[in-house]
Structure 1
Amino acid sequence: MPSTTTPAPAISIRALEKSYKKLSVLRGVDFDVDRGSIFALLGPNGAGKTTIVNILSTLLKADAGAAAVNGFDVASDAAHVRESISLTGQFAAVDEILTGRENLILVARLRHQPDPGGIADGLLERFSLTDAGSRKVATYSGGMRRRLDIAMSLIGQPPVIFLDEPTAGLDPQARLEVWAAVRELARNGTTVLLTTQTLDEAEHLADRIAILNEGRIVVNGTLDELKRLLPPAKVEYVEKQPTLEDVFLALTSDATKELP
């Protein structure tokens, strides 16, 4: 019989530690992210989410532990890691003076891609921005800017993309637009590591969710697995299944430090 091998994770982290002087931010973080999946890293402010992204994107060095992206070690093979990823932060990195199409063409040229115009047109269509492509980005809504920012990050077809709180500051309609764009990434085979403080964002998008609290992963699983950590509540004799918010608050409260 032919042997079947499980593909290596797109992202792998083992015993990752990071401190800033006397402040310990990461205290032995472990998790894997499957290829082509959406993995949500959920946690309160100061939990260490952005620190993890910065280490994975080679912007920051870990104090201890190991991390690999697309099979490349972030410490010893940083150049190949950078070729494998794209990073989109909390604010859209777009040039408001240029049109949407000009922004895409500019990035394609900077990355030495063939046919920058064709790449731009394809991404405008993919992210439903064709009609706005000839308009200056200054006229775009918040959701349109974020979608354009994500489109720009895909130039060069990186297999892994980090989205650090991509819907921060957006209105509800703009958030839905960005969510649709993120789902489109996964459908096309891109691995997405999403950091967020928004519980419904993780609930709606992620294949797996890890909750980071005080520098440690306190739980890692699918939404259904996380919900099973808490018993259903009875409201007027009817069972109410726990929400992701219930799980998050239970695992990050001062009274609860360990898994049940």
Structure 2
Amino acid sequence: MVITANTTYYKGLNEQIRACADAEITVREIYGQRYLGCGSSDKTFKLYGTPGNGLGQYLSGSTIEVFGNCQEAVGDTMNDGEIIVHGNVGDACGYGMRGGRILIEGNVGYRAGIHMKAYLDKFPVVIVGGCAGSFLGEYLAGGLIAVLGRGANGALPCSYFCGTGMHGGKIVLRCDEKPSGLPPQVLVREMNDEDRAELMPHLAAYCQHFGSTPEEILSERFYVLTPNPEAGYKQLYTFE
């Protein structure tokens, strides 16, 4: 099934998509229509253009591949499936994400991975090929975020307040020097073999879509951010 979006209002476009019984759906000429693929399962979408806010919200097992850039809240609260973006993504990507995987060829905006969490067999993963904006992994409670820094020439591939409120999960950053200015509740160390093994299948998937090899990417220096259980967040509260 091939649908041409063009100037179709987002509600009408989503009605067409939901009414389609095909397992594979291609949508062309997307100009900011919102909520594409939301809550879907067992579908494969190929989207051409610029999807609007909320792409793949509550995704429950479908695969969405975007040939273009995306706006905000990609994969918001997604539960399972995969979102692949051949371009850049806006703010709050993976907000409250509970499972599945998001692969981004380029950059991501502010607050990527905010409130991500893992439970039992659900383990969310976000791989960013370029750089990330401020508040990466804010309040992270579980899962894995990796920022590969392609094109950053070894500089820290994220902006301010990385890991603020982080109390679970892991953030992996590709950079030449140890990140500084992190909150005291965040520990930082160089990547070890266990980290590499965990990251490898997701890097392999990234490279399959966007080029390079996991070995080439892993030949550079990586740092890993994890919560510091001894620091805690008790200082955020007021005691009588």
Per the normalisation by structure 2, the TM-score is 0.29
- The structure with higher relative contact order (CA 8 Å, sep 6+) is 1
TM-score, normalised with respect to structure 1: 0.28
Bigger radius of gyration among the two = 1
- Give 1 or 2: higher helix fraction: 1
